[in-house]
């Protein structure tokens, strides 16, 4: 059973359609990325999932229960990190953690709390309002993790974090995933999505562009870049490569066939190429080609 199931959800603000007929699902234990340009509808989608805002249409189910009907049951099992962390500024960090546990009717494991404070180097005595952006984010992460949620929803969690804390955060998240938690990560940082997520949903203008299984696609698809005065477009097409970019002395192809066949084709060319680059298709390239393709279809 999917942990997150969005079925044809939409959200309108007056005449403006922020999310339109969006559907996708996330399976238990997945590390799922959710990406899109600014204003694509990512935060609106998450706000609907968390019932901050009412949807205009469609169905949302989290952890097998429909939202908002089972809002309370669902939130007991969810951890949420907002992109803009604005907690009670007058409260000390340790009090915020205490209140979070109280909301969940949990005593909390002091050793675990201490571990998080140490791991993320948080001064528990400081007032939340006196913390830097990065430290506020760390407190939000601890608040989201401390009650052992089955589903962790994060909106730009690494904004303001230094590389060391970034690595520690993902180490903790990987641990949680290994323990069975599902992680839903919205991020602008394509590198971190590529490094940690197994699946990713692309959204643009409130609509789903596609859902890709990164573990499969990235390994299978290569990007071949050729430079030279005479580019072998027909030969590449003959072995199944798709040209994605063509300039006067450079062409780029997506290629899913075997490497021996590619190298054999290139070595048998009558003219010499100046440069050949073969690389795994990264998320950024995938992201760009998806959006360019959609833009092309629209035009």
Partner 1 sequence: MTLFRLECRTHIKTLVIWIVVVGVLTLGLVSLFPAMKDMGLQQMDLKSMPKDMLKAFNLSDMAALATIKGYFGYEYQYIVIATGIFAAMLGTNALAREEAEGTIGYLYAQPITRLSIVGSKMLANSLLYTVYWAVSMAIAFLGCILFKESGASVHGLFKSFAQLAFSGWVMGLTFLVFGFLLSSFLSTNKSATSLSLGVVFLTFILGVVGKMNDDFQALVFFSPVDTALPSTVFKNGIEWNYIVTDLIVIMVSCLLTFWIYKRKDLKV
Which residues are at the interface with partner 1 (CB under 8 A)? 43, 47, 50-54, 71-72, 75-76, 78, 80, 82, 84-90, 99-100, 102-104, 140, 143-144
Instruction: Give exposure, 259-276, as e/b (b: 16+ Cβ within 10 Å).
Output: eeebeebbeeeeeeeeee
Q: Specify the residue, 83 or 294, whose C-beta has the smaller distance to partner 1.
A: 83
Strand ranges across the sheet with 250-255? 242-246, 250-255, 222-227, 275-280
- The phi, psi pair for 196, rounded to 5°, reads -115, -25
Strand ranges across the sheet with 31-35? 78-81, 151-155, 182-186, 31-35, 199-204, 207-213
Q: How many CA atoms lie within 13 A of 170 on its CB side?
A: 17
Task: Kindly give the pairing relationship between strand 65-67 and strand 57-62.
Answer: antiparallel
- Helices first, then strands: H and E counts in the chain: 11, 14
Q: How far is the CB of 20 from partner 1 (least distance, A)?
A: 17
Q: How far is the CB of 22 from partner 1 (least distance, A)?
A: 17
Q: How far is the CB of 181 from partner 1 (least distance, A)?
A: 16
CA distance 184 to 274: 44
Q: How far is the CB of 118 from partner 1 (least distance, A)?
A: 23
Q: Specify the residue, 87 or 202, whose C-beta has the smaller distance to partner 1.
A: 87
Q: How far is the CB of 105 from partner 1 (least distance, A)?
A: 8
Q: Specify the residue, 46 or 251, whose C-beta has the smaller distance to partner 1.
A: 46
Q: How far is the CB of 226 from partner 1 (least distance, A)?
A: 48
Give me 45's structure tokens. Answer: 């989608």
Q: Specify the residue, 78 or 214, whose C-beta has the smaller distance to partner 1.
A: 78
Q: Specify the residue, 47 or 158, whose C-beta has the smaller distance to partner 1.
A: 47
Q: Specify the residue, 75 or 204, whose C-beta has the smaller distance to partner 1.
A: 75
CA distance 30 to 177: 7
């Amino acid at each position: 059973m999917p942990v997150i199931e969005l079925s044809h959800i939409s959200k309108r603000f007056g005449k403006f359609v922020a999310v339109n007929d969006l559907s996708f699902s996330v399976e238990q234990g997945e590390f799922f990325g959710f990406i899109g340009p600014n204003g694509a509808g990512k935060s609106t989608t998450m706000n609907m999932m968390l019932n901050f805002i009412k949807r205009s249409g469609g169905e949302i189910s989290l952890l097998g229960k429909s939202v908002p009907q089972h809002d309370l049951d669902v939130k007991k099992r969810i951890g949420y990190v907002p992109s803009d962390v604005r907690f009670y500024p007058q409260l000390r960090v340790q009090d915020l953690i205490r209140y979070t546990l109280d909301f969940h009717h949990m005593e909390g494991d002091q050793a675990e709390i201490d571990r998080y404070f140490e791991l993320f180097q948080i001064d528990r005595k400081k007032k939340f309002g006196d913390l830097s952006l990065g430290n506020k984010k760390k407190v939000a992460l601890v608040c989201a993790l401390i009650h052992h949620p089955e589903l962790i929803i994060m909106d730009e969690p690494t904004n303001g974090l230094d590389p060391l804390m970034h690595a520690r955060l993902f180490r903790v998240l990987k641990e949680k995933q290994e323990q069975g938690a599902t992680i839903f990560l919205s991020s602008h940082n394509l590198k971190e999505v590529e490094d940690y997520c197994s699946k990713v949903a692309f959204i643009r203008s409130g609509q789903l562009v596609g859902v890709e299984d990164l573990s499969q696609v990235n390994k299978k698809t290569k990007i071949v870049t050729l430079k030279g005065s005479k580019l072998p477009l027909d030969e590449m097409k003959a072995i199944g490569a798709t040209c994605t970019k063509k300039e006067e002395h450079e062409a780029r192809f997506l290629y899913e066939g075997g490497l021996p066949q590619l190298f054999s084709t290139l070595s048998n060319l009558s003219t010499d190429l100046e440069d050949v680059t073969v690389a795994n298709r990264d998320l950024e390239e995938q992201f760009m080609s998806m959006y360019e393709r959609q833009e092309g279809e629209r035009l």
